[in-house]
Amino acid sequence: MQITETSLPGVLLFTPRIFSDSRGVFFETYNEREMREAGLPTEWRQDNFSISAKNVIRGIHYQIIQPQGKLVRVAYGSVVDVAVDLRRSSPDFGKHVAVELSGENGLALWIPPGFGHAFAVLSDKAGFSYKVTDYYSPAGERTVLWNDPALGIAWPIAAEEAIVSAKDQQGKPLKDAEVFL
């Protein structure tokens, strides 16, 4: 597995070695030794899975209490996955990185604690899987407004076509959001 840093320090892209033949494909989705060697967590508290329809945008989510690191990937379909630096003391505060993850390319993204996370579904349906380093904390959950112009995220879905939950529509603009120090 190849691990490369994205334009945001600490956010890493995992590219698996994919073996394919007439039967289909095979690749490793997780290797504890390689994670440890890269200095990443090897203990996970939850595995989560969601299925979303085309044009769904989920996020920008994070937990101020019990912050979570996330290792995310798409089992089937395709999404544009976004990580936003929400650490006020970071020189990259408010910056984001966007990566297309799909069942076909097998890519995974590591999003450390202190970052917000969102994704937009490009395919008819997408199965989205993530491992997290801490448990879900309803009291700690926060949402930054997915289309806050201050973030400059070029979503691949027109705003009028985006399917966004009521909770995510009530997200706060970055300037008003409770973020990390």
Catalytic residues: 61, 130
Both tokens of 69, joined, read 């690191």
The side-by-side arrangement of strands in the sheet containing 115-121 is: 96-102, 78-85, 115-121, 57-63, 141-143
Strands (E), 16-77: 19-21, 24-26, 46-53, 57-63, 70-76
Both tokens of 8, joined, read 């945001």
Helix (H), strand (E) at residue 166? helix 166-169
Residues making up the chain, counted from first to last: 181
What whole-number distance in Å separates Cα of residue 11 and Cα of residue 106?
17
